Amino acid sequence: MRPRRWRPRTAGGGAAVLGAALAVELVDELVDGTKGAALPLIHRSLALSYGQVGLLVSVPLLVGSALELPVGVLAGHGRRRRLAVLGGGLVFIAALLAACAAHSFGSLLLTFVIFFPASGAFVGLTQSGLMDADPGLREWHMARWELAGAAGSVAGPLLLIAVLAAGGGWRSAYLLLTLAAAMALLGVARNPPVPPPGAGEQARAGPGVSRVLGALRSAGVARWLVLLQLCDLLLDILTGFVALYLVDVVHATPAQAALGLAIRLGAVLAGDAALVWALGRVRALSLVRASAAAAALLYPAFLLAPGIGPKLALIGCLSAVTAPWYPVLQAQLYSSLPDDSAVAVSLSSAASLIGGAGPLAIGFLAQRFGLEWALTGLVIVPLGVLGGLWRPPASADGGA
């Protein structure tokens, strides 16, 4: 007889619930991808200085993340969390509309800052609800979640290109994003994730601060938070420096640098798709260990490879093999807080706020020693991941 294929069941409430949740993540990353591609147009349209462009990128991350911190704890579970998701979605849509109407640096900066906590409520709490709906399939759902986000990141610049080809501008693109966000909000309002009976009893048992402090005293929770921030150095943070590295260190043309970034994003999408297939066939944490071992070889090879061609090939391979890192480790964080996933949202925001020092540190080291040496320091990341997973916490949900 042929072996049975592993077929995951859908999230609590059916396939429509899973589709609605993934649409929320896709729209969030679609916004982010469009924003990155539109920054040169925004810079020219509002006559911004380079310093102001830098503030548009960094201030929302720092201030908005700080505002996002209490969202998970205050939202809790059940009806209150559903209301927080819907409220966050409405503010999410309002921030996109406000960006369309912004005609000064100050007004645009304010809308970008507001967008962060709105995204935390709309997107982060939707994710935690999805984790609660199917506790036994967290890695699989996170892999689907990451795949949807990667698709949105790739589609963002393509959306802007299509709008420009049709004679529109960045404001027109933001109007389309507003429409997409409204559709995603309608979908999750009609099909919210349904947790199993009894979920969230711990969240209702005490005040938010005590729950957060209790969670931090768990070695498993702290480990997953640290590993997630460590991994991000070779994920999103490296992505932010890839084009600059190719131009300033490899002496590639801007077009070649753009191609390198496109290869990286496309490889991430391919890796996420492969992860969805691999889960259920290979243990989740075993995939992370294998990918970290591969990255420990691929990243130094990328730095040492001569010429633009080999570097582009290696950055594509590296981007694909690191695909399991975020979805699997984030799922493990939720598993370490099985009765209080909303706290995981707040803890992730806090860790991201601290992790925001990563790009600043790389920038400072690049200023002092050069970008090549600054990025060379990231060779320790895969080794740190392997070390952190050497003895997984006992709270891991079978992914060890």
One-character DSSP codes across 325-341? HHHHHHHHHHHHSTT-H
Choosing from 166, 199, 232, the residue where a domain stops is: 199
Are the CB atoms for 225 and 380 separated by under 8 Å? no
Classify residue 235 by burial, with Cβ atoms within 10 Å: 0-12, 13-18, 19+. Answer: middle
5, part of any domain: no
Q: Are residues 90 and 138 in the same domain?
A: yes
Domain count along the chain: 2
Domain membership of residue 3 (yes or no) is: no
Domain final position from 179, 199, 219? 199
Cα–Cα distance measured from residue 115 to residue 192, given in angstroms and rounded to the nearest whole number: 22
Specify whether 141 is located in the same domain as 264: no
Query: Rounded to whole angstroms, how far apart are CA atoms 193 and 149?
Result: 18
Say which residue the tokens 């594509």 belong to.
Answer: 316
What pLDDT does residue 339 have? 65
Range of the domain at 304: 205-400
Domain check: are 41 and 140 in the same one? Answer: yes
Write the DSSP string, 83-120.
HHHHHHHHHHHHHHHHHHH--SHHHHHHHHHHHHHHHI
Distance CA 226, CA 248 (A): 31
- Asked whether residue 291 falls in the same domain as residue 183, the answer is no
Tell me which residue of 159, 119, 153, 124 sits closest to 26, measured CA to CA: 153
Task: Determine the distance from the C-alpha atom of residue 259 to the mean position of all C-alpha atoms in its chain, rounded to a whole number.
Answer: 22
Query: pLDDT class for 314, splitting at 50, 70, 90?
Result: very high
232 and 191, same domain (yes or no)? no
**Domain identity same for 316 and 398:** yes
Q: Are 230 and 314 in a shared domain?
A: yes
242: which strand partners? Answer: none
Domain end, chosen from 165, 199, 233, is at: 199
Q: Are residues 179 and 277 in the same domain?
A: no
Ranges 190-204, 249-263, 281-295, 366-380: which has the least confidence: 190-204
Q: Over 90: is that where the pLDDT of 345 sits?
A: no
- Within this chain, do residues 17 and 152 fall inside the same structural domain, yes or no? yes
Claim to verify: residue 103 and residue 242 sit in the same structural domain:
no
Q: Is residue 2 part of a domain?
A: no
Q: Taking 90 as the threshold, does the pLDDT of residue 76 lie above it? A: no
Residues 286 and 265 in one domain: yes
CATH of the domain at 355: 1.20.1250.20
Burial class (CB in 10 A: 0-12, 13-18, 19+), 4: exposed
Determine the pLDDT at residue 209. 57
7 occurs within a structural domain: no
Is 4 inside any structural domain?
no
d(CA 80, CA 76): 6
Examine residue 275 and state whether it is found in any structural domain, yes or no: yes
**Residue 269 shares a structural domain with residue 291:** yes
Cβ(134)–Cβ(141) under 8 Å? yes
Alpha helices in the chain (DSSP H): 15-45, 50-59, 65-68, 71-75, 78-101, 105-119, 125-133, 138-165, 170-190, 208-216, 219-232, 236-248, 254-278, 284-304, 308-321, 325-336, 341-355, 357-369, 371-376, 380-388
Highest-confidence segment of 237-241, 319-323, 368-372, 394-398:
319-323
The C-alpha atoms of residue 329 and residue 142 are separated, in whole angstroms, by 9
Of 17-21, 22-26, 301-305, 358-362, the one with minimum mean pLDDT is: 358-362
pTM for this structure? Answer: 0.75
